[in-house]
Amino acid sequence: MGKNRKRIIILSIVISIIIVGIYFFRSNNEVEQLPYTLFLTHLERGLVEEVELSNNDKIKIKLNNGKILETDNPRKDNFKEELLLYEVNVIEKEQQLSQLIPTILILSVLGFMVIHLSRNTSRQAAKEMNDLSKIDIQDENSKRIKFKDVAGNEEAKESLMDMVDFIKNPEIYTKFGARLPRGILLYGPPGTGKTLMAKALAGEAGVPFFAVSGSDFVQVYAGLGASRIRELFKNAKEAGKSVIFIDEIDSLGKKRKSGNHPSGSEEGDRTLNALLTEMSGFNDNEGIIVVAATNRVDILDDALLRPGRFDRQVEINLPDVKSRYEILKLHSRNKPISKEVDLKKVALETVYFSGAKLENLMNEAAIKAAKDKSKEITFSHIDKAYFSVLVGDEKKDRSTININDKKITAYHEAGHALVAKLISKDNRVTKVSIIPSTRGMGGFSINLPQDKMYQTKKDILSNIKVALGGRAAEEIIYGKDMVTTGASSDLEKATEMVLSMIGVFGMDEEVGLMNYNILANNNLSHKILLKRAKEILDKLYLETLDVLKQNLDRLKTLADNLVINEVISEEEINQLIFGK
Ligand code: ADP
Ligand code: ZN
């Protein structure tokens, strides 16, 4: 034991020295130098975000684009005031957190070694030591983000704004016996502002923000994930009211498989259980809200979605053209943009860009302008930035979808919507969109009259036609050979509907009242079912084609409008189809 301890102490000292070494090496050697005169021009152009004042010969500055540079320390008396007038963040070295980093690291190394000494294990030490330092990141120092810093996604914003009052005045609600939401799940594609919204919630409510990422919990050493969750909640409770943010919750809350666990997932379960326990462990009136984010809601464990947990789910989507304009405006606020730049036009040309990508675009443009030593950011800077942003992640997402794809999607979605409205005016089409969501390409929502208990055969037939409307529109506009793969899930739905119609609900005379599942389970032939299903689908498809052909003008109007506006509301749909 004595020998072991000595070895560990020596090891910790060596590691501490290495960490300190790395730290100093980084902070001293890697920083690019900026001539002082250039610094002044950057300052005037509003490109400087932060300056770290110190007594050293050099001072550190951070540009809006995140770049860290060093320049000569002017040691002027009123330097700080001058910087503040330029709206630059001034940090005085004494209060600098970064100075504490080596100490914190050393302490965590030592602490960790002690834990390990008692546990008598050592293998994973190095790996987990890394993780340990990011237990929870408190974001209090960063500028408080408010809802006005989030553009678009109005519905999501509204439902988060509700929470502000819950956090601030929980007593009011509990007095009325209302059960307050504890968890909100934000789901949608990456870069759409989920983290930003959670921060805004904390910012508006004026409470601390605690953030972790689910991916930090994967493959941690036994029990550590769970204890980290407990610690996170303990910290949050100590801070009083607060917002806890768990990014990538899917990586710790995946659907649990029954039966044998592949190694590692048992630990995931333990972490998930700890989270569920903690969430039911605080009182309604404590004013703690847990916000979780994921790109994939479909793979989440159901236990997470039950009442008292993440029972509010808010979808966050890629921005439509209006929201893109808002986001672009937001991220141009502190940039010298030339008057010739029409952000509306930029918004039009950035279909399928997420908020993060738009931010990136403006940032790249600013960098390009700074490199050009231009006075302002011009259209050509944005143009060049556009291509470098696109090239950067061409393979990863859909941003490169060209105008032609946009048109195809528009016709496809317009086809669904038009068929729905033409079959019955009572069918409510509440929204048509060509912006992809987590559920897939394009989007189209329809509310069939819900006030009845049963569906009739006629209803099912109509629904099948609506499902086929997308493909039918493609065929009419582009020809039989040019139809796309975009209809795959529609066809799945249509096939399912027709099979249940004739094989479950007994709604076809030729098939009669037989049940398809029983035939299949007893290995009896169900050829007749397949034959009838195909006949019915074919006939319905022809009818759908007919309806659309007779309303070609309407189809074109809808599609054109979709290409321009990307999203059309219920009133606009009715207006475009029926002119009222
Ligand atoms: P997510 O958590 O959904 O992946 P983030 O909140 O991390 O996305 O977004 C990254 C950055 O992109 C934000 O910090 C912000 O600069 C920008 N951004 C994303 N969405 C928006 C939006 N709706 N309004 C303004 N900025 C946005
Ligand atoms: Zn479709």
Neighbouring C-beta atoms of residue 69, cutoff 10 Å: 18
Could you give the CA distance from residue 400 to residue 318 in angstroms, rounded to a whole number? 14
**What angle is formed at CA 358 by the lines to CA 355 and CA 361, rounded to 5 degrees?**
155
Domain contains 526? yes
Query: Do 482 and 526 belong to one domain?
Result: yes
Helices 403-423 and 527-550, packing angle to 10 deg: 100
In 3-state terms, what secondary structure has residue 257? coil
> CB–CB of 62/54 below 8 Å?
no
Question: Which residue, 285, 315, 345, sits at the end of a domain?
Answer: 315
pLDDT digits (tens, 9 = 90+) for 40-81: 777 777 778 888 887 777 888 888 877 788 888 887 777 777
Query: Do 334 and 295 belong to one domain?
Result: no
Q: How far is CA 368 from each of CA 198, 373, 382, 508, rounded to the nearest angstrom?
A: 31, 9, 8, 66
Question: Which residue, 340, 356, 391, sits at the end of a domain?
Answer: 391
Domain contains 115? no
- Return residues with CB closer than 5 A to ligand 2 (ion): 470, 490
Query: Do 290 and 338 belong to one domain?
Result: no
- Ligand 2 centroid to residue 468 C-alpha, Å: 7
Specify the amino acid at residue 508.
D
Could you give the CA distance from residue 160 to residue 450 in angstroms, rounded to a whole number? 28
Q: Taking CB atoms and a 6 Å cutoff, what residues make up the pocket around ligand 1?
A: 150-153, 190-196, 293, 327, 330, 355-356, 359
Confidence (pLDDT) at 204 = 92
pLDDT at 122 exceeding the cut of 50: no
User: 3-state SS string over 394-407?
Assistant: CCCCCCCCCHHHHH
Enumerate the active-site residues: 413
- Ligand 1 centroid to residue 151 C-alpha, Å: 9
Pocket test for ligand 1, best of 150, 192, 246, 297 (most atoms within 8 A of CB): 192
Domain contains 104? no
- Ligand 2 centroid to residue 419 C-alpha, Å: 12
Q: Which ligand is nearest the CA of 66, by number?
A: 1
In 3-state terms, what secondary structure has residue 268? helix
**What angle is formed at CA 94 by the lines to CA 91 and CA 96, rounded to 5 degrees?**
55
Query: Do 494 and 572 belong to one domain?
Result: yes
Q: Which pLDDT band, with edges at 50, 70 and 90, does 385 fall under?
A: confident
What total of structural domains would you count in the chain? Answer: 4
DSSP code at position 192: S
Mean pLDDT of 404-419: 91
The protein residue with its alpha carbon nearest to ligand 1, atom 7, reads 195
Could you give the CA distance from residue 151 to residue 465 in angstroms, rounded to a whole number? 37
Q: Which residue has the higher pLDDT, 130 or 182?
A: 182
- Ligand 1 centroid to residue 136 C-alpha, Å: 20
364 closest CA partner among 339, 403, 335: 335
The protein residue with its alpha carbon nearest to ligand 1, atom 4, reads 191
Mean pLDDT of 385-397: 62
Domain contains 125? no
Q: Which ligand is nearest the CA of 412, by number?
A: 2
Query: Do 9 and 60 belong to one domain?
Result: yes
- Ligand 2 centroid to residue 379 C-alpha, Å: 37
Query: Do 151 and 236 belong to one domain?
Result: yes
In 3-state terms, what secondary structure has residue 108? helix
Q: Which pLDDT band, with edges at 50, 70 and 90, does 144 fall under?
A: confident
Sheet hosting strand 89-92, strand order edge to edge: 32-33, 68-72, 58-63, 48-53, 89-92
- Ligand 2 centroid to residue 441 C-alpha, Å: 8
pLDDT digits (tens, 9 = 90+) for 298-328: 888 888 888 878 888 888 988 989 999 999 9
Confidence (pLDDT) at 263 = 41
Query: Do 147 and 51 belong to one domain?
Result: no
Query: Do 422 and 458 belong to one domain?
Result: yes
Neighbouring C-beta atoms of residue 550, cutoff 10 Å: 11
Question: Which residue, 42, 69, 98, sits at the end of a domain?
Answer: 98
Provide the CATH number for the domain around residue 45. 3.30.720.210
Q: Which pLDDT band, with edges at 50, 70 and 90, does 229 fall under?
A: confident
Query: Do 150 and 176 belong to one domain?
Result: yes
Q: Which ligand is nearest the CA of 470, by number?
A: 2
Provide the CATH number for the domain around residue 193. 3.40.50.300
Confidence (pLDDT) at 36 = 79
DSSP code at position 254: B
Q: Is 361 exposed, middle or buried (0-12, 13-18, 19+ CB in 10 A)?
A: buried
Pocket test for ligand 1, best of 324, 331, 350, 359 (most atoms within 8 A of CB): 359
Least confident range of 411-415, 432-436, 555-559: 432-436
Domain contains 12? yes
Provide the CATH number for the domain around residue 386. 1.10.8.60
Question: For residue 293, which atom of ligand 1 is closest to its CA?
Answer: 2
**Parent domain of 287:** 138-315
Domain contains 397? no
For the ranges 59-73, 176-190, 389-403, the maximum mean pLDDT occurs at 176-190
Query: Do 232 and 327 belong to one domain?
Result: no
Domain contains 153? yes
Could you give the CA distance from residue 188 to residue 316 in angstroms, rounded to a whole number? 5
The protein residue with its alpha carbon nearest to ligand 1, atom 5, reads 193
Query: Do 308 and 339 belong to one domain?
Result: no
Question: For residue 197, which atom of ligand 1 is closest to its CA?
Answer: 6
Query: Do 189 and 311 belong to one domain?
Result: yes
Domain contains 111? no
Q: Which ligand is nearest the CA of 485, by number?
A: 2
pLDDT at 31 exceeding the cut of 60: yes
